[in-house]
């Protein structure tokens, strides 16, 4: 599972980010100051760091140096919107920069983009007799290619990366369609039904009353 370190001294923001990343299938840890973050980086492996700049003890630029030594990509999260701060962070080696406040859907999209660009995501995923190649974005079932739309493919990835987890319709919509779920319409349900039929997952993707869906798999 992809491990992400969230470094922010604003507890409410850090917990909000953590909650949404966990819902999306990532394993997360939170550090509230630069020194705690540096210690965590030295002791445990991470695939990505979401890093505020203004931190107690060590600032974000200093923590970035630790991350670079461990070859961990960094996305800066900060309220500092000045161009010079953004440029400094990128020149020092950050992969991306998001100014607060930001939309969770945007954060999730950027996280996925950076992980993919840095090849931190799994290149091949398997589920039952289904094989997914994330480089070529191809799907095989029993060795035979299955033609999926872009949304069906993204939906499949979301389920596979969250096996046996309950996914709220809101979470599914925000991750696959990138917008806010209104609660109206059957877009999610219709795409789930088509995906189940194409891949023979009728007995594995189950509906959860008033919640959403779960991919049930050993």
Does 179 have pLDDT greater than 80? no
The residue extents of the domains of the chain are: 3-117, 124-215
Q: Can you tell me the mean pLDDT for 47-59?
A: 92
Does 152 have pLDDT greater than 70? yes
The CATH classification number of 3-117 equals 3.40.50.2300
Does 184 have pLDDT greater than 70? no
| Contacts of residue 172, Cβ cutoff 8 Å, sequence gap at least 6 | 155, 158, 188, 192, 212, 213
* pLDDT bucket at 90, cuts 50 / 70 / 90: confident
State pLDDT tens for residues 65-82.
Answer: 989 888 899 999 877 666
Residue scoring higher pLDDT (58 or 124)? 58
Listed ranges 30-39, 63-72, 93-102, 171-180; the one with the highest mean pLDDT = 30-39
Range with the poorest average pLDDT among 35-44, 51-60, 76-85: 76-85
pLDDT at residue number 193: 96
* pLDDT bucket at 134, cuts 50 / 70 / 90: confident
Q: Please, are residues 68 and 50 in contact by the beta-carbon 8 Å criterion?
A: no
pLDDT at residue number 76: 92
pLDDT at residue number 121: 61
CATH architecture, domain defined by 124-215: Orthogonal Bundle (1.10)
The three state secondary structure string of the chain is CCEEEEECCCHHHHHHHHHHHHHCCCEEEEECCHHHHHHHHHHCCCCEEEECCCCCCCCHHHHHHHHHHCCCCEEEEECCCCHHHHHHHHHHCCCEEEECCCCHHHHHHHHHHHHHHCCCCCCEEEECCEEEECCCCEEEECCEECCCCHHHHHHHHHHHCCCCCEEEHHHHHHHHCCCCCCCCCCHHHHHHHHHHHHHCCCCCEEEECCCEEEECCC
pLDDT at residue number 123: 67
State pLDDT tens for residues 12-42.
Answer: 999 999 988 887 778 899 999 999 999 999 8
């Amino acid at each position: 599972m992809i491990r992400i370190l969230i470094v922010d001294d604003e507890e409410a923001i850090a917990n909000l980010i953590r909650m949404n990343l966990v819902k999306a299938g990532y394993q997360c840890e939170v550090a509230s100051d630069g020194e705690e973050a540096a210690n965590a980086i030295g002791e445990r492996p991470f695939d990505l760091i979401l890093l505020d700049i203004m931190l107690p003890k060590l600032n974000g630029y200093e923590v970035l140096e630790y991350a670079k030594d461990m070859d961990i990509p960094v996305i800066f999260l900060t309220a500092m919107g000045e161009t010079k701060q953004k440029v400094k962070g990128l020149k020092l080696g950050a992969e991306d920069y998001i100014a607060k406040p930001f939309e969770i859907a945007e954060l999730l999209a950027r996280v996925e983009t950076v992980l993919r660009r840095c090849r931190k995501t799994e290149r091949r995923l398997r589920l039952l007799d289904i094989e997914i190649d994330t480089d070529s974005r191809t799907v095989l079932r029993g060795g035979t290619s299955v033609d999926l739309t872009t949304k069906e493919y993204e939906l499949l990835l979301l389920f596979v990366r969250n096996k046996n987890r309950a996914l709220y319709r809101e979470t599914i919509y925000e991750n696959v369609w990138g917008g806010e779920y209104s609660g109206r319409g059957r877009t999610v349900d219709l795409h789930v039904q088509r995906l189940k039929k194409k891949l023979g997952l009728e007995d594995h993707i189950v509906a959860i009353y008033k919640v959403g869906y779960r991919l049930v798999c050993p």
